[in-house]
Structure 1
């Protein structure tokens, strides 16, 4: 298991690379919910004009003890961006590139109550653009020498009320989707019904998180986590899970 002081040392060395503006610890380790075998996610906030990828690769090689490819911005898709996977002290450590200017833009959009979902490999529901703001708000800054991360965190450390209202207002789509599912069921179109039902379920899960003023950074575990929110979700997680389980059993 990698120690916190080792991650801090890594962050210091990353911040010394040209173009790396700040480094933050994200994921379960930042939230304090990690297990001993949990990955360590480091967000590397970079300047697109000056990022030195070759220096990052050399650093990754030294930490991992073997050559490691650092994937350039855009290599992992339009929103996940790029980075590297390392194993250090028997712990998987992910370096996740985040274009600082793009993150700042999403923080400002979240503050105004604007958001959207975008096609991205690995995100079947779509990548939530203001997840960048959620990462900035919930991550633990390890290195921020010029205060760029602190500046954008000020916009989103408290969940923006405008964003909360916008997510809740978007619930009109749920009725629309369930109406479509009903019509699809009459045609025996099991795949379309499942898509409508799962999409509606995830919209509701996003809304429960917004109602509780909790940031969402990934759809993984989103429905399950509703049960852990500091809000009466009226048994949503159990109801949604049973309903989707029943659908899958009937179609099998």
Structure 2
């Protein structure tokens, strides 16, 4: 892990760039769920017109080599941009976040509105209100205006409207599994696998929402259900059994659809 003093110095370099509003430690290290070799995620919260050349200079100042932060959208429509760098040999991910989008998604989260969007690296889709969740979970390193503090205060505890909406949205899983049953009868393994996976991921999102636990990406989402105080401890094992037993004949595929349909669901 990078020493705290180095993190603080990097945050000072970044916050000095005109247009940078705040810098935060994010990801598993902010949540305390990291492994020893987990990357350091630095969220850099910016005005839309931030000078990205100056931002690249600041990100490179303590890195082992020069890095370039691209224009907005260069990492896809929902991740903006950033840079992968190394500080004293340790991997650091600098992730740019547009505060206009953060504000928009914070408002949507409070209203109980959300959607998943196509985005590289997010197989289910990027959860738009994750922009709000990141602020709720992050550890501010530089927040001179109190922006992160003020946004986080709106999001703690987890918004009740978003909790209810995540659970109510599970009607989609029944629709998906109805279609999967027809595909299973035709031994369409790929379709069934996709439908079952989408179902269990949405169930996992709903369980986290029911427990008022923010989710910011799909990694570790299903295993995480078993660690929630209100959720079935064997949820992850049951999901693994379903996906591992798909096969390529109608009978096991239909069984998988039926098992996915029987997985426990949270209630409002």
State the TM-score, normalized to the length of structure 2.
0.90
Gap runs ≥5 in structure 1: none
**What residue is the counterpart of 2:16 in the other structure?**
16
Asked if the contact 2:226–2:236 (Cα under 8 Å) also holds between the matched residues in 1, the reply is yes
Superposed CA offset, 1:69-119 (max 9, x none): 212211000101101111002211111000001101101110110000001
**What residue is the counterpart of 2:80 in the other structure?**
81
**Aligned-CA RMSD value:** 1.5
Shift of 1:65: 3.5
Gap runs ≥5 in structure 2: 253-268
Taking the aligned partners of 1:221 and 1:16, their CA distance within structure 2 comes to: 35
Taking the aligned partners of 1:140 and 1:60, their CA distance within structure 2 comes to: 19
**What residue is the counterpart of 1:172 in the other structure?**
171
Equivalenced residues, count: 250
Asked if the contact 1:48–1:99 (Cα under 8 Å) also holds between the matched residues in 2, the reply is yes
**What residue is the counterpart of 2:185 in the other structure?**
186
Shift of 1:122: 1.1
Is the partner of 2:93 in helix, strand or coil? strand
Q: 151-160 or 214-223: which moved more?
A: 151-160
Matched, 1:230 2:229: yes
**What residue is the counterpart of 2:31 in the other structure?**
31
Which aligned pairs between 1:1-252 and structure 2 lie closer than 5 A?
Answer: 1-49=1-49, 51-233=50-232, 235-247=234-246
Shift of 1:240: 0.9
Taking the aligned partners of 1:37 and 1:196, their CA distance within structure 2 comes to: 33
Asked if the contact 1:38–1:91 (Cα under 8 Å) also holds between the matched residues in 2, the reply is no
Shift of 1:138: 0.3
